[in-house]
């Protein structure tokens, strides 16, 4: 049987760790040609070696619009097309309350979590328009489903991703371009280590694993182009 993503070209942004790493591995198993993007060149090269040809390491700073454009150009030069973009890149900061949040840390959060998503979307749309098809999956956070103490900069940036996703679909759907926002609950990734107070081990034992989020991305990516999944909420059953 053909694999679910056979010969589709997928750009996974944030592929060096956590959800992005798990998603890249899941897509590769289903036959996708992978472009792997993140800051860490060493980690990307190791992952490309692990996945084997035709995986392509694309080190990039997503907050640099010119670098993002060059990265997508490299993908197109290597593969000739771009079918899937998965944006999992993002960060948080321990100093997140309004009492200690500064303009500099605010900009850092917006840059990594939202501006980077826009820059990648902007660069991916022209080839998808030419192809008259494509799918962009954004990994947001279940923290935006209801107010919490994840920090206003994190909340604002992750809410912004939702607006970016839905607005992009409304503008681009007649060209066959779809979007989806995935909202994972607590997931055992390095980002959890940036919380100001460590999460108790008994809570982390119930958390989602990055592979769970990867399976959600794969589910959406493998659906036929006639389908549209605007949003998908994924929660740890023991913490819901």
Q: What pLDDT digit, counting tens, does each position of 3-17 carry?
A: 999 999 999 999 999
DSSP 95-144: --STTT--HHHHHHHHIIIIIHHHHHHHHHHHHHHHHT-EEEEEE--GGG
pLDDT at res. 4: 96
Structure tokens, 20: 């992005």
Structure tokens, 160: 């912004």
Beta bridge partners of 181: 138, 231
In what side-by-side order are the strands of the sheet with 231-234? 56-59, 33-38, 9-13, 84-87, 134-139, 177-184, 231-234
> How far does CA 25 lie from the centroid of its chain?
14
pLDDT at res. 90: 87
Beta bridge partners of 180: 137
pLDDT at res. 191: 73
pLDDT at res. 145: 83
**pLDDT above 70 coverage of the chain, percent:** 99
Are the CB atoms for 158 and 141 separated by under 8 Å? yes
Is the pLDDT at 30 greater than 90? The verdict is yes
Per-residue model confidence as pLDDT tens digits over 177-200: 999 999 999 999 877 766 777 788
Is the pLDDT at 159 greater than 80? The verdict is yes
Higher pLDDT, 217 or 90: 217
pLDDT, average across residues 32-44: 97
Average pLDDT, the chain: 94
pLDDT at res. 189: 85
pLDDT at res. 200: 87
Is the pLDDT at 60 greater than 80? The verdict is yes
Please state, in angstroms and rounded to a whole number, the distance separating the CA atoms of residues 139 and 237.
19
Structure tokens, 197: 């107070």
Residue 100: which residues within 8 A CB-CB, separation 6 or more?
none
pLDDT at res. 190: 78
Estimate the crossing angle of helix 116-131 against helix 152-172, to 10 degrees.
10
**pLDDT above 90 coverage of the chain, percent:** 85
pLDDT, average across residues 171-182: 98
Q: What are the boundaries of each domain within the chain?
A: 9-234
Higher pLDDT, 94 or 218: 218
Is the pLDDT at 36 greater than 90? The verdict is yes
Please state, in angstroms and rounded to a whole number, the distance separating the CA atoms of residues 145 and 62.
25
Q: Residue for token digits 């991703």?
A: 161
Catalytic option among 87, 119, 138, 154: 154
Q: Look at the chain and count its residues.
A: 240
pLDDT at res. 144: 87
Measured CA to CA in angstroms, residue 91 lies from 28, 189, 192, 222 at distances of 25, 11, 10, 27
Fold adopted by 9-234 = Rossmann fold (3.40.50)
Residue 100, Cβ neighbours under 10 Å: how many?
12
> How far does CA 153 lie from the centroid of its chain?
18
pLDDT at res. 195: 73
Is the pLDDT at 93 greater than 90? The verdict is no
Structure tokens, 6: 């056979």
Residue 154 annotated as catalytic = yes
Is the pLDDT at 125 greater than 80? The verdict is yes
pLDDT at res. 143: 86
């Amino acid at each position: 049987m053909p694999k679910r993503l056979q010969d589709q070209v997928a750009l996974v942004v944030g592929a060096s760790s956590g959800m992005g790493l798990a998603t890249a591995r899941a897509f590769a198993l289903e036959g996708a040609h992978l472009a792997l993007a993140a800051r860490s060149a060493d980690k990307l090269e190791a992952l490309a070696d692990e996945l084997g040809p035709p995986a392509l390491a694309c080190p990039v700073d997503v907050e640099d619009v010119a670098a993002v454009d060059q990265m997508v150009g490299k993908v197109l030069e290597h593969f000739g097309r771009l079918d899937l973009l998965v944006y999992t890149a993002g960060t948080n900061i321990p100093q997140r309350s309004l009492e200690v949040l500064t303009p500099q840390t605010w900009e850092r959060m917006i840059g990594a979590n939202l501006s980077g998503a826009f820059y990648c979307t902007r660069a991916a749309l022209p080839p998808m328009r030419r192809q008259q098809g494509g799918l962009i999956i954004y990994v947001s956070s279940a923290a935006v489903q209801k107010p919490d103490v994840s920090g206003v900069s994190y909340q604002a940036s992750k809410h912004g991703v939702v607006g970016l996703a839905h607005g992009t679909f409304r503008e681009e759907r007649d060209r066959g371009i779809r979007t989806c926002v995935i909202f994972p609950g607590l997931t055992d990734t390095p980002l959890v280590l940036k919380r100001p107070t460590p999460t108790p081990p008994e809570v982390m034992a119930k958390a989602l694993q990055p592979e769970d989020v990867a399976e959600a991305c794969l589910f959406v990516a493998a659906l036929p182009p006639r389908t549209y999944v605007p949003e998908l909420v994924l929660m740890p059953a023991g913490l819901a």
